[in-house]
Amino acid sequence: METSVDALTPSGPAAEDPAEERHNSDEHRSPKDEPENFGEPFAKKPSRSNSQVAADEAAAEAKRLIDDPNLKLEIPDSLDHEHFSKLLELDSKNDDDLFSSTDLLEHEIAEHPEKLANDIAETVPTDDATQHLHSLENLESLGKLSEEAGGDVHSNPGTESPSKIKNENQSPSVLVDPVLADDRAIHPDIYNSDPLSTGAGTREDTPASILEDKHELLDDQKQDASTKLGYVSLQPPLPENAVNKIEITQPIEPNSELPMTEFHDGANSETEQSKISAYARLDFQSFTFYVQTLQVIIGRRSENDFSHKVDVNLGPSKSISRRHAQIFYNFGTGRFELSIMGKNGAFVDDTFVERGITVQLKNKAKVQIGQIPFQFVLPDQEGKEKKAIEPVDAISLKTALNNNNKLAEISRSVTPIPIPSGESTELKDEELKDQPAKKKTPPKKKEKKEPKAPKPPKKIYTLEEIPPEYRTKPTGSYSNLITACLRKFSSPKGMSLSGIYAGIRELFPYYKYCPDGWQSSVRHNLSLNKSFRKVSKEGKGWLWGLNEEYIAEREKQKKKQAEAAAEKAKAAQLKLEQQQQQKAKKAAESGSMIKSVASIPARPKVKQPNISQTLAANRADRKATADANQRTMKYLQEQLMILTKDRKGLDKHVMASILTQALAMTINQVTQAAKSKGITGNPLTALIDKNPQHLNLILAAAVNAATVKVTNGSVKQLVSMPPPTVTAPQERRAASPSTSNIQPTSGGTSNLVASANPGPAATVKSSESFDPTSLSKFFQPKQPSRVPTPSPARSVLPLKRASSETESSSDDESTSGDESGSADSDASDGSDSDDDSSSSSGGSSKGSSSDEGSSDGE
DNA sequence: CATAGCATAAACAAGT
DNA sequence: CACTTGTTTATGCTAT
């Protein structure tokens, strides 16, 4: 260590207490950890080449996930007719198939982020060491997936890149990325060292990283400073000094729960420079190293060897491994821990710790590596106070300036840092620059003891002080927030309450700025919600974890409910359709069938509050099914009308009966046929989309059969069976003026119409012999024939969600994968009107009122 | 209108 | 004694 930190000696006031977050408890890390894992905590986020980015993403996703925890499908009540119900059955089955895998994925993620995580987790082994990995992976995958999900929310899943998402969120992560990347390059060992980290960066979401994020978020000035100061060692730029300096990295803000605090260096009482912000301090005989990142690697570094990163170089002694030990902040336990990676082990408080073991680093713990002893010192109470006061950051400082009360305290806590020596000076400068601006006021360095304000009330932020993106309360329930937090930060042993607080603050910075009170809710949730459970005991409190089984169960049920709801919705729709249909018929009977038909409103249109994406999504699903059914019904009705334009003198009543029966028959038969064929999904829908001509044939046959039945054979063929292919329909229409009315809406119908009539009664023996089996062919994997452009179906019925394409796709999807075609023209007509919700996607909208109110408070 | 879920508070009990 | 951590109970809101 080149560093000259010697100037500083352990003089500083020893920390008497660990930061609040850290508990003194002695829990050790599981001994299993092997050198490689040393980064357990880090291991968690191996991939995040950019810790921050990842963090942000994670946060973003977490939010997203959280936001849509409950997608519910709704379905109408049971249908009356069995055919309908059958239809529904098919549909419901189909639903699964209907959704493209992507859809499912997205939904799933949106709905049950945790589930996803679980799934992922399941695939992974579970020992201590790997646990972290899990989380990591989970997170990552989650992140990726969620990204997709997020993307889809807007439009296409998967299209959006993480960065994009970030941008949306305006998270600073983006900015950070480059840095991290560089960082990696510079200190390959760190990243590469971790076997677990799959090539991705290994940086953790340690508080440090978090801090980084914050820095950026907080304010520009700070940003610069922070970057430079805080991560000097890591950053590519800042070469000379940085490199040499042993690692005096100085994170600027101790955020929220992070332990980082300031050390007062008695020796340098130079005033402003008497303090250094750090999470902890390592007092060596000849120098002092301030732990300002959540991960510090201690080892031996040869002069020219930069292949691996060493934050604290213990010299050339071979008894010291290149990466001999690592001190890191375990977010899960809220403590600093020491992982021994060096083959010769180390002594911690006079106890030998062998390689692969991780132990907690208590305040003032004595550590000896090789022949080099040092003491790990946590910040003292002052630090605590400071912390308590608030995260010292630009914002708080500013505020402080404005508010005298706190000002005093903050100032004390924040006083500038004296830098140990040499290189560090630059840092100092930087800091000074920063700090002066913010903290400036009282260089008063009071002896560590101050009158001590009774209790620094938590700082109250004004709206302006809060980064815009963090002004609104995250959507999602506390249980979701907690779940996200645990998934992201929890160690296998669980997470302490304070750790959870910190995690939540990290994931949802809103909680860094909002007034206290939410902690109570968190506690309330932890103990009340079965999704959480006490994993292990730590000192006074418990380490909390997720009750995966329960969660899984809950998810299942939710899903079921959703499905049930969806079915109901469908049923309702169908019912509605039927009713309409009947109405139509009646109307027809009365004389203006056509009119009635035409008038049949496409969809009831559900009013959508578009509150959250979730809801939107849910609705979308419901709608999808409902719409599909509706569309189908409408289509059938229309076609029937068209087919029976020529009533051949039958009277209204008779026609009504015929139509009703024909419809029922068609539905029934098609459904049956499909069922027997094992076809999932709504066969009618599929048919409409893929082979409307055939469906027309079926309808025609059904009509004839119904006619025969109703008229007792007096009329055998109401509809002439057209040849399958047919085309020129126009004539027909022209012929009968009435028709024209019928399809004002859809051009698509024309085809059908055509098919329906003209041809010589071709094939179908129609009438009585309505052979269901004949339908089978329609369900064959696919018939190339189908109708192209104007898919009648669509045309006829307005689709609901113009907004989200994904969904629309989902609905037609119906059966086999098809291209279903185009939604063409017609679709447009109806759809547009209602849709809705999608727009809302933005999310976040949420409780503006509450937040603002609260925040504004003063 | 009743109900389920949540969010919040707050009172208390236990540990530290 | 001051806190932190957990439990419980009560109350109000909102969406269903």
Listed by start position, the domains of chain A span 5-45+204-438, 559-842
Q: Which nucleotide is nearest to A523 (CA to C1')?
A: C6
Q: Which of residues 40-69 of A touch strand B (CB under 7 A)?
A: 69
Asked if residue A448 keeps its beta carbon closer than 7 A to nucleic acid strand B, the reply is: no
Residue showing tokens 């000074």: A432
Please report, rounded to whole angstroms, the spatial distance between the CA atom of protein residue A412 and the C1' atom of nucleotide B2: 57
* CA separation for the pair A402, A596 (Å, rounded): 71
As a rounded value in angstroms, the CA-to-C1' distance for A499 and C5 is: 12
Nearest in space to A334 (alpha carbons), one of A259, A385, A235, A408: A259
Strand B within 7 A of A784 CB: no
Q: Is A533 helix (H, G, I), strand (E, B) or coil?
A: strand
> In the numeric block, which tokens belong to residue A787?
């109708």
| C-beta atoms surrounding A405 within 10 Å | 12
A239-256 as b/e, with b when 16 or more CB fall inside 10 Å? Answer: eebbebbbbbbbbbbbbb
A473 touches strand B (CB under 7 A): yes
State the pLDDT at residue A700: 75
Q: Would you state the structure tokens that stand for residue A38, as one six-digit string? A: 């040393």
Q: Which residue is closest to C3 in terms of CA–C1' distance?
A: A20
**Closest residue, CA to C1' of B10:** A520
Q: Does the C-beta of A539 come within 7 A of strand B?
A: yes
Cβ of A525 near strand B (distance < 7 A): yes
CA of A652 to C1' of B1 (A): 44
CA of A541 to C1' of C3 (A): 13
Nucleotide nearest to A533 (CA to C1'): C6
Q: Evaluate if the CB of A532 falls below 7 Å from strand B.
A: no
Cα–Cα distance measured from residue A398 to residue A253, given in angstroms and rounded to the nearest whole number: 13
A72, closest nucleotide (Cα–C1'): C16
**CB neighbours of residue A632 within 10 Å:** 30
Chain A residues 834 to 853 with C-beta below 7 Å from nucleic strand B: 850
Q: Is the dihedral of CA A693, A697, A698, A700 positive or negative?
A: positive
For the domain made up of A5-45+204-438, give the CATH fold. Tumour Suppressor Smad4 (2.60.200)
CA distances from A337 to A43, A125, A237, A543, A851 (A): 14, 23, 30, 16, 37
Beta bridge partners of A366: A375
Residue in A518, A521, A520, A500 with CA at minimum distance from that of residue A510:
A518
A456/A599 Cα distance (integer angstroms)? 69
Q: CA A524, C1' B8: Å apart?
A: 10
The kind and range of the H/E element at A758 are none
CA distances from A23 to A210, A330, A445, A501, A524 (A): 20, 11, 28, 14, 21
Q: What is the DSSP string of A464-523?
A: GGS-GGGSSPPSS-HHHHHHHHHHHH-BTTBEEHHHHHHHHHHH-THHHHSPTTHHHHHH
* Tokens 């009947």 found at: A582
Q: Which nucleotide is nearest to A854 (CA to C1')?
A: B8
CA of A61 to C1' of C14 (A): 25
Bases of chain B below 7 A from a protein C-beta are 5-11, 15-16
pLDDT of res. A457: 58
Residues facing strand C, Cβ within 7 A: A 20, 23, 455, 496-498, 501, 520, 523-524, 526-528, 534, 540-542, 544, 609, 611, 615
Q: Using the 8-state DSSP alphabet, how is residue A33 labeled?
A: -
A524 in contact with nucleic chain B (CB within 7 A): yes
Q: Residue A619 belongs to what H/E stretch?
A: helix A613-643
Across A217-345, where does the E strand assignment appear? 261-264, 275-278, 280-284, 288-291, 295-299, 312-313, 325-330, 335-340
Mean pLDDT by 10 residues, chain A (858 residues): 31 32 33 29 31 42 39 29 32 30 30 34 33 33 32 31 31 28 29 30 32 32 29 26 30 37 44 58 83 81 70 84 84 77 86 83 84 82 34 30 29 27 28 27 32 55 78 85 88 87 87 86 90 85 88 80 73 77 74 43 35 40 50 65 73 73 68 58 63 67 75 76 42 34 33 34 35 35 30 28 31 33 33 33 32 31
Chain C: bases < 7 Å from a protein Cβ? 2-10, 15-16
The A295-299 sheet, strands edge to edge: A312-313, A295-299, A325-330, A335-340, A358-360
User: In 10 A of CB A368, how many CB atoms?
Assistant: 17
Whole-number pLDDT of residue A722: 52
Separation in Å: C4 C1' and A126 CA: 31
| Window A684-713, strand B contacts by Cβ < 7 Å | none
pLDDT in the model for residue A705: 77
Q: Distance (Å) from CA A261 to C1' C1?
A: 26
Nearest to A720 by CA among A737, A703, A735, A706: A703
Stated in angstroms, how far is A533 CA from B5 C1'? 20
Q: Which residues in 540-599 of chain A line strand B, with CB less than 7 A from it?
A: 540
A648 Cβ contacts chain B strand, under 7 Å? no
Between the CA of A522 and the C1' of C2, what is the distance in angstroms? 22
Side chain identity at residue A357, one-letter code: I
